């Protein structure tokens, strides 16, 4: 009796989870960047793993039903079957290579930002995000934790001429990005680890105090998205948020021009 129930329960579990996985309201939020290749990988992986999940449980359910104890039967004495073992190993390995190889291709583009990317800086702290854009010279000035003070909250090195025209959006501000232009973020942290995460862009990267980490993507849908922190950073982790506004190049340039430069804010020069 238990055998029959267990077989039914296993089948119901796979049917239920499979249906909801494919038609349920919870899934990837709508993509808003170039990383469609990551989405394709997720879809392919979902199909492959779901087939395996269904197969394992269905076959088990069948065996459970078929070979449940009945009086007078005796089990088959089967110790091994090398041929079957080999076939299964080969099929599994093919499946894995089939998922891994394209995955590694996607990853290698993930870590190679295009040369024409707009470079800008993300600075994280407990519990807010700040940003810095290069000015007209297209170069971010040097910065260091040492230079942080009440006014210079990002620690821009005021002796570096490249930094004078940078535009700093202090903690709590909003990130603006031009649509369809690759951006490369240089991520920094002032205090502890954080992680820059925008679900619709499919990207995430930790920020590490004492170093710089990098992340690139091309936002391809105008709109406002949420920046979340994805690495535990203390009590305020859950509310460490910011927005990113993706807009046309003109709107972006117009907005950027309205922002004061570092030398204006700090009164240098």
Partner 1 sequence: MQEHAAGLPETHGHEETHQHEPTGFWTKYIFSQDHKVIAMQYTITALLVGVVGMVFSWLMRLQLAFPGQLSLIQPDNYLQFMTQHGMIMVIYLLTAFLLGGFGNYLIPLMIGARDMAFPFLNMMSYWTYFVSVILLFAAFIVPGGPSGGGWTIYPPQSILPGASPGSEWGIRLLLMSLAVFVASGTMGGLNYVTTVLQLRAKGMTLMYLPLSVWGIFVASVLALLAFPALFVGGVMLLLDSLAGTSFFIPLVNQFGRQLGHEGGNPILFQHLFWYFGHPEVYIVILPAMGVVSDIIANFSRKPIFGYKAMVISILAIGGLSFLVWAHHMFVSGMNPYFAFWFAIATLAVAIPSAVKTYNWMLTLWGGNLWFTTPMLYAIGFVSTFVAGGLTGLYLGNTAVDVPLTDTYFVVAHFHLVMGVSAILGIFAGIYYWFPKAIGRMYNETLGKLHFWVTFVGTYAIFFPMYWLGAAGMPRRYYTNEAVTQLPPSSHELNIFITIAALTVGAAQLVFAFNLVWSIFKGKKAEGNPWKATSLEWQTPQTPPVHGNWGPTEPVVYRWAYDYSVPGASQDFTPQNVAGGPAQKAKASGKTKH
Q: Which does 242 bind (CB under 5 to 8 A by kind): Cu ion, partner 1, none?
A: none
Site string for partner 1, 204-223 (x = CB under 8 A): xxxxxxxx-x----------
**Could you tell me how many residues of this chain bind partner 1 (CB under 8 A)?**
101
Beta carbons of 262 and 167 less than 8 angstroms apart: yes
Residues in 22-61 that interact with partner 1 by CB under 8 A: 24-29, 35, 37-38, 41-42, 45, 48-49, 52-53, 56-57, 59-60
Q: Which does 115 bind (CB under 5 to 8 A by kind): Cu ion, partner 1, none?
A: none
Nearest CB to partner 1, comparing residues 145 and 161: 145
Stretch that binds partner 1, among 131-139, 146-154, 161-169, 247-255 (CB under 8 A): 146-154
Cα–Cα nearest to 112, from 212, 182, 201, 188: 182
**Could you tell me how many residues of this chain bind Cu ion (CB under 5 A)?**
5
Site string for partner 1, 223-242 (x = CB under 8 A): --xx-xxxxxxxxxxxx-x-
SS3 195: strand
Q: CA dist 128 to 125, 189, 216, 225, 251, Å?
A: 6, 10, 21, 16, 25
Estimate the crossing angle of helix 36-66 against helix 82-110, to 10 degrees.
160
CA distance 20 to 57: 17
Q: Which does 173 bind (CB under 5 to 8 A by kind): Cu ion, partner 1, none?
A: none
229 is a site residue for Cu ion (CB under 5 A): yes
Nearest distance in Å: CB 233, Cu ion: 3
Q: CA dist 158 to 144, 155, 190, Å?
A: 10, 9, 18
Cα-based angle 39, 40, 44 (whole degrees, multiple of 5)? 120
CA distance 169 to 111: 26
Nearest distance in Å: CB 199, Cu ion: 15
Residues in 182-201 that interact with Cu ion by CB under 5 A: 194
């Amino acid at each position: 009796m238990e055998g029959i129930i267990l077989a039914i329960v296993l089948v119901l579990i796979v049917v239920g989870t499979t249906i909801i996985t494919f038609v349920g309201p919870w899934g990837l939020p709508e993509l808003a960047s170039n990383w469609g290749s990551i989405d394709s990988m997720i879809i392919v992986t979902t199909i492959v793993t779901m087939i395996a999940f269904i197969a394992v449980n269905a076959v088990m359910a069948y065996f459970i039903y078929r070979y449940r104890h009945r009086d007078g039967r005796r089990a088959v004495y089967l110790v091994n079957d090398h041929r079957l073992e080999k076939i299964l190993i080969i099929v599994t390995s093919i499946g894995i290579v089939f998922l891994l190889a394209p995955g590694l291709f996607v990853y290698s583009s993930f870590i190679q930002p295009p040369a024409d990317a707009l470079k800008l800086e993300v600075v994280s702290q407990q519990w807010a995000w700040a940003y810095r854009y290069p000015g007209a010279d297209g170069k971010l000035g040097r910065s260091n934790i040492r230079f942080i003070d009440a006014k210079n909250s990002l620690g821009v090195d005021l002796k570096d001429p490249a930094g004078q025209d940078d535009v700093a959006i202090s903690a709590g501000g909003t990130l603006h990005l031009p649509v369809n232009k690759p951006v490369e973020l240089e991520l920094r942290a002032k205090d502890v680890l954080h992680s820059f995460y925008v679900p619709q862009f499919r990207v995430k990267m930790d920020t590490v105090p004492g170093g710089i980490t990098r992340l690139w993507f091309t936002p391809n849908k105008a709109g406002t998205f949420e920046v979340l922190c994805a690495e535990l950073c203390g009590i305020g982790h859950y509310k460490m948020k910011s927005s990113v506004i993706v807009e046309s190049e003109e709107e972006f340039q117009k907005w950027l021009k309205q922002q004061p430069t570092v030398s204006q804010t700090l009164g240098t020069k």
